[in-house]
A and B are shown apart, each in its own frame.
Chain A
Amino acid sequence: MLFTFQNITYTLGTGPGRQITASGAVAEGSVLVVRGPSGAGKSTLLRVLARLQSCSGGEVFLQGESWRHLPATAWRARLHYLAQKPALFDGTVADNLAKPFETRQGSKNKFDPDRAKALMQELLLDANLWEQDSRTLSGGEAARIAFVRGLLIQPHVMLLDEPTAALDDQAREAFYGVLSRWLTGPGRAALLVSHNNDYKVLDRVSFLDIGPGQRGE
């Protein structure tokens, strides 16, 4: 298995909250769809796996390496968490796509504008958006730009939180097309939270159910 998490225990809400324990694994080239009702803790699981939120127990392995053996910065560069409402920064779309490469971690790779433009085209984004102010983008455009930005980092695992929620049917189809092609690369997998069943277009999908009365497994 490329990515495994065992007995990840985290709390929903503040104070005593509700405790969730989840385990799962995803093979190279596959997608693990995290299912459950609203408020079940699906997004929180992705955030915990991305080390954006702490958990009270559990172990995670990426390509056999424990998350305890990697600094959080290196871990997050390998597992890219794409939020449901991804943040864009002040500046143009091009500025936003180049943003990850301003960090010390990101500067190990070089920003490839041609690759970014090609991905934008595959995701049905107009080439003229390149110089457009990111604050003027629609929700669907912003979601796809953030997806492109994540792909450019070249992570091993994409943690996708409702990535198609703001997309129309055509854009969804394009999104899953790009995701499928990306998954064919070496050492890649994805975890997906989605309330739609649109992920059915993907090959090699497995499921993890979490929520009340479930012990995610």
Chain B
Amino acid sequence: MESATIPISNLQLAFTVVLVLITGAISSLLKLGLLRSLLWGTVRTFVQLTLVGYALTYIFKINNLWLIMAIITLMCFIASKTAVKRTPNVPNYPSLLAFVSLLASTYLVGSLVTVLIISPDPWYSARIAIPIFGMILGNSMNGIALSLDRLYSEARSRSAEIEAMLTFGATPWEAIRSSVREAVRAGMTPTINSLMVVGLVSLPGMMTGQILGGADPSEAVRYQIVVMLMIATAVAIGCLILVGLSYKKLFNEDGALQPFVLQSKK
């Protein structure tokens, strides 16, 4: 069995422009108005990934624990900003809470997987840690954005029920518990769905990458199983932390629903 990566030369890479031309032709032919975005996106893909390639080469070479932690923390910060922007139902949400949720879930699950399951030498190997933490973050970011958005939309649509619970003497947590449940479910559903169809509908990116990189498919599958389960856990923890930190923002200091929750229903 072949085990080496087939390298892509600069000339071969340049041929991918043909693919862009095809996409551009479709856009022009149908007047989709996407040509400008497509070209800008292509340039950004080349530039960003090339820079990331150089940066990773450098980081892997240095393999310094503090640098790795700084990079992962920065990734969490960017992911939290992005997640908050993807929540149309949530006005003026402080991205700090999203950052804390992502930081906690990513470090917890990422460290467990890196140190206990993959166990590289040294245990903080940048070559292992950065891709692992990156995959966790990419999925957790989407999960927490979905959860947060659902929490707010549920609170608005169920404000009468939440308020009814409050009139029984319920605490804010007791009153909003069912909305919290829905919010966490919404965040986790895409991940659970992907667990159901993985390998049947498509081969996951990491596994495909490993196979293309010359790895034994059965080995790639083992890695993919670890990755899938780690993502599911991280998403669940991230959603739970974020929703747990966020629900109180829907209530005032007296435990009553904030006006913005009630007004939006009218």
Give me the interface of A with B, judged by CB distance under 8 Å: 14, 50-54, 72-74, 76-77, 80-83, 85-87, 89, 99-100, 102-106, 146, 150, 153
- Given contacts A53-B256, A54-B256, A87-B161, list 14 more A-B pairs with CB under 8 A: A14-B259, A50-B167, A73-B171, A76-B166, A80-B167, A82-B167, A83-B163, A87-B163, A87-B164, A100-B168, A100-B170, A103-B165, A105-B171, A106-B169
Between A and B, 13 residue pairs with Cβ closer than 8 Å are A14-B259, A14-B263, A73-B255, A83-B160, A83-B163, A83-B164, A87-B164, A89-B161, A89-B164, A100-B170, A105-B170, A106-B170, A153-B169
For A80, the chain B residues whose CB sits under 8 A away are 167-168
A108 CB, nearest partner CB in chain B, Å: 9
Is B257 located at the chain interface by the 8 A CB criterion? yes
Task: Look across to chain B and name the residue whose beta carbon is closest to the beta carbon of A150.
Answer: B167
* Docked CA distance A87–B166 (Å): 12
In the complex, are the beta carbons of B168 and A153 less than 8 A apart? Answer: yes
In the complex, are the beta carbons of A77 and B168 less than 8 A apart? Answer: yes
Q: Select one of B167, B255, B263 contacting A81, CB under 8 A.
A: B167
Q: Select one of A51, A86, A87, A99 contacting B254, CB under 8 A.
A: A51
In the complex, are the beta carbons of A87 and B168 less than 8 A apart? Answer: no
In the complex, are the beta carbons of B160 and A54 less than 8 A apart? Answer: no
Which 7 A/B pairs are nearest by Cβ-Cβ distance?
A: A77-B169, A105-B169, A100-B168, A87-B160, A87-B164, A103-B170, A72-B255
Is B174 located at the chain interface by the 8 A CB criterion? yes
In the complex, are the beta carbons of A52 and B167 less than 8 A apart? Answer: yes
For A85, the chain B residues whose CB sits under 8 A away are 160
Is B252 located at the chain interface by the 8 A CB criterion? yes
* Docked CA distance A3–B235 (Å): 50
B97 CB, nearest partner CB in chain A, Å: 23
* Docked CA distance A45–B167 (Å): 15
In the complex, are the beta carbons of B169 and A73 less than 8 A apart? Answer: yes
* Docked CA distance A72–B175 (Å): 13
For A74, the chain B residues whose CB sits under 8 A away are 169
In the complex, are the beta carbons of A76 and B169 less than 8 A apart? Answer: yes
* Docked CA distance A106–B161 (Å): 16
Q: Select one of B160, B167, B257 contacting A76, CB under 8 A.
A: B167
* Docked CA distance A153–B171 (Å): 15
For A52, the chain B residues whose CB sits under 8 A away are 163, 166-167, 256-257
The A-contacting residues of B in range 150-170, CB under 8 angstroms, are 160-161, 163-170
0/1 per residue, B127-167, Cβ < 8 Å to A?
Answer: 00000000000000000000000000000000011011111
- Give the interface centre of B161, B163, B170, B255 by most chain A CB atoms within 10 Å: B170
In the complex, are the beta carbons of A103 and B174 less than 8 A apart? Answer: yes
Q: Select one of A14, A72, A77, A153 contacting B256, CB under 8 A.
A: A72
Task: Look across to chain B and name the residue whose beta carbon is closest to the beta carbon of A102.
Answer: B174
Task: Look across to chain A and name the residue whose beta carbon is closest to the beta carbon of B170.
Answer: A103
In the complex, are the beta carbons of B254 and A72 less than 8 A apart? Answer: yes
B159 CB, nearest partner CB in chain A, Å: 9
For A73, the chain B residues whose CB sits under 8 A away are 169-171, 255
For B165, the chain A residues whose CB sits under 8 A away are 99, 103
For A87, the chain B residues whose CB sits under 8 A away are 160-161, 163-164
For A14, the chain B residues whose CB sits under 8 A away are 259, 263
0/1 per residue, B170-197, Cβ < 8 Å to A?
Answer: 1100100000000000000000000000
